[in-house]
Structure 1
Amino acid sequence: MTALVLREDRDGLAILTLNRPDKLNALNLAMFRELRAHIEALATDDAIGCVVLRGAGRCFCAGNDLGGIAAGGDAPPPGWQSETLRMLETLPRPVVAAVHGHCYTGALEVALAADFILAADDAKFGDTHAKWSLTPVWGMSQRLPRRVGVATAKRMMFTADTILADEALRIGLAEFVVPAADFDAEIEALARRLLAGSTFTQAAAKRLLDATDGMGLDEGLRHEWSKSEGRGPDSAERIAAFARR
């Protein structure tokens, strides 16, 4: 049976690929189970310094499998998908959503759980909950306004408009937009830049940002210095290497 989420490791980089290309990688429960298993494994894999999540075939992901919703069937416990995406979000290493083609609704909720989005110039984003009379339960109402601001999040959520790659960059939804023809090379180049950094610092920074989200400035500043994790185990080596240049 073909895996619904593939994992490929390359010199410290783990690439997770949503793998239902015949269904535009639409998210169903089986795919979520495989994604969660990979996330659980990555949480304790010290050999991995960067994770990229992408889609096979024509697009990143067209969203939740509406056919599966219509058919009913087994349902996970309430909040299970949201919990899974929180696990992805809190992995102690950089996580990049590499988006090409469609990225709608549930797919956007998955991408927003990454630290940032690298978009191909053919990427299309949208929140279509309002189109189907559904309400978000995977994190859209929390992560989207934190990424793009409340007013822009409302515009996207109320109108179900499609956001093209250049606008995604302008509003802060995506951090990078690259030519679709160079997508694979740009993913690799970004991953190598991230892998060159200290995994200790990156993990500590993620914990700081998460812990202080929503704090006032003074409270956040106190948290930063009082909870500092200090220097990483490779700090002296990195500084010495710089001094030798």
Structure 2
Amino acid sequence: MSAVLREDRDGLAILTLNRPDKLNSLTVGMFEELRKHVLALYKDESIGCVVLRGAGRCFSAGHDLADIAEGEAVPSRGWHSETLRLMERLPKPVIAAVHGHCYTGALEVALAADFIIAAESAKFGDTHAKWALTPIWGMSQRLPRRVGIATAKRLMFTAEMFGAAEAQRIGLAELVVPDAEFDAAIDRIARQILANSPFSHAANKRLLEATDARDMDSGLQWEILNNEGVGPDMQARIGAFMEKGRS
């Protein structure tokens, strides 16, 4: 059975972490499958948006501690982090859809998405310090960028668990929805994204990343000098809008 499933729905690719009996705890094998899916998505122009979610009771309980204890063998140093970076740099919007547990390594995975949609049941936390571990999948870089450095320090130092409402309050989650409405909300937002230009999505992702840590003046200069112009679908989109206005 595949540890990461892919399902395509009219331009939307849904990647599902699929070890529900182990609360989708993350292993080298899961990352290998996730990496293969991500690399395939780079080449698949039929897909305009990606959702990453978990099967069963939760998104993921985090890094499989049994794998850590056994001294998991990875292809190279930094391989997990490199895999998440590949996902983060996909030229398509990536949504992390989180319900239930999302702890430590799982939170690092979710942070590599463009934004997080959380069900009310979602629980977040960084427990590296609880297990005498330090992050190597990107927590120290992505969490403070998302919530601010002081909040990131508090969460990392205390190993505090917190719910979806708090995740939204601190800026970790963009949207919180009741569990009964979770699937519909994910699909609705994905369809809103798919209705817009894939050219713009790819260009905007590159622009936002390139200027994220710059001061305002250098960021504006970067935007002017590196703007990718208009997409091949611009005329068709404007024409369709104008035609709709005439009818």
The verdict on a shared fold, with TM-score over 0.5 as the criterion, is yes
Cα offset, 1:76, TM superposition: 3.1
Question: What secondary structure does 2:7 align onto?
Answer: strand
Question: What secondary structure does 2:8 align onto?
Answer: strand
Q: What is the CA–CA distance in structure 2 between the aligned matches of 1:71 and 1:136, rounded to whole Å?
A: 18
Q: How many residues align?
A: 244
Cα offset, 1:99, TM superposition: 0.2
Stretch deviating more after TM superposition (132-141 or 207-216): 207-216
Q: Which residue of 2 aligns with 1:116?
A: 115
TM-score w.r.t. the length of structure 1 is 0.98
Q: Is the 8 A contact 2:50 2:94 kept in 1?
A: yes
Q: Which residue of 1 aligns with 2:28?
A: 29
Consecutive unaligned residues in structure 2, runs of 5 or more: none
Q: What is the CA–CA distance in structure 2 between the aligned matches of 1:30 and 1:226, rounded to whole Å?
A: 42
Cα offset, 1:196, TM superposition: 0.6
Consecutive unaligned residues in structure 1, runs of 5 or more: none
Cα offset, 1:215, TM superposition: 1.1
Q: Which residue of 2 aligns with 1:69?
A: 68
Cα offset, 1:71, TM superposition: 1.6
Which stretches of structure 1, 4 residues or longer, exceed 6 Å deviation after superposition?
Answer: none
Amino acid at match of 2:109: V
Q: Which residue of 2 aligns with 1:233?
A: 232
Amino acid at match of 1:199: P
Is 1:159 the counterpart of 2:142 in the alignment? Answer: no
Q: What is the CA–CA distance in structure 1 between the aligned matches of 2:90 and 2:128, rounded to whole Å?
A: 27
Amino acid at match of 1:47: S
Q: Which residue of 2 aligns with 1:8?
A: 7
Shift of the 126–224 alpha-carbon distance from structure 1 to 2, 3 Å rule, reads: same
Give the RMSD, CA atoms, in angstroms. 0.7
Cα offset, 1:74, TM superposition: 2.3
Stretch deviating more after TM superposition (5-14 or 184-193): 184-193
Q: What is the CA–CA distance in structure 1 between the aligned matches of 2:213 and 2:155, rounded to whole Å?
A: 22
Structure 1 residues 85-164: aligned runs within 5 Å: 85-164=84-163
Amino acid at match of 1:63: G
Cα offset, 1:183, TM superposition: 1.1
Q: What is the CA–CA distance in structure 2 between the aligned matches of 1:75 and 1:20, rounded to whole Å?
A: 19
Amino acid at match of 2:214: M
Cα offset, 1:73, TM superposition: 4.3
* Structure 1 residues 122-165: Cα deviation after superposition (integer angstroms, max 9, x where no partner): 10000000100100000000000000000100011000001200
Amino acid at match of 1:8: E
Q: What is the CA–CA distance in structure 2 between the aligned matches of 1:155 and 1:76, rounded to whole Å?
A: 33
* Structure 1 residues 184-207: Cα deviation after superposition (integer angstroms, max 9, x where no partner): 111111110110111100110000
Q: What is the CA–CA distance in structure 2 between the aligned matches of 1:152 and 1:26, rounded to whole Å?
A: 26
Amino acid at match of 2:91: P
Q: What is the CA–CA distance in structure 1 between the aligned matches of 2:160 and 2:190, rounded to whole Å?
A: 31
Q: What is the CA–CA distance in structure 2 between the aligned matches of 1:163 and 1:136, rounded to whole Å?
A: 19
Q: What is the CA–CA distance in structure 2 between the aligned matches of 1:43 and 1:207, rounded to whole Å?
A: 14
Question: What secondary structure does 1:222 align onto?
Answer: helix
Q: What is the CA–CA distance in structure 2 between the aligned matches of 1:97 and 1:218, rounded to whole Å?
A: 32
Q: What is the CA–CA distance in structure 1 between the aligned matches of 2:196 and 2:120, rounded to whole Å?
A: 27
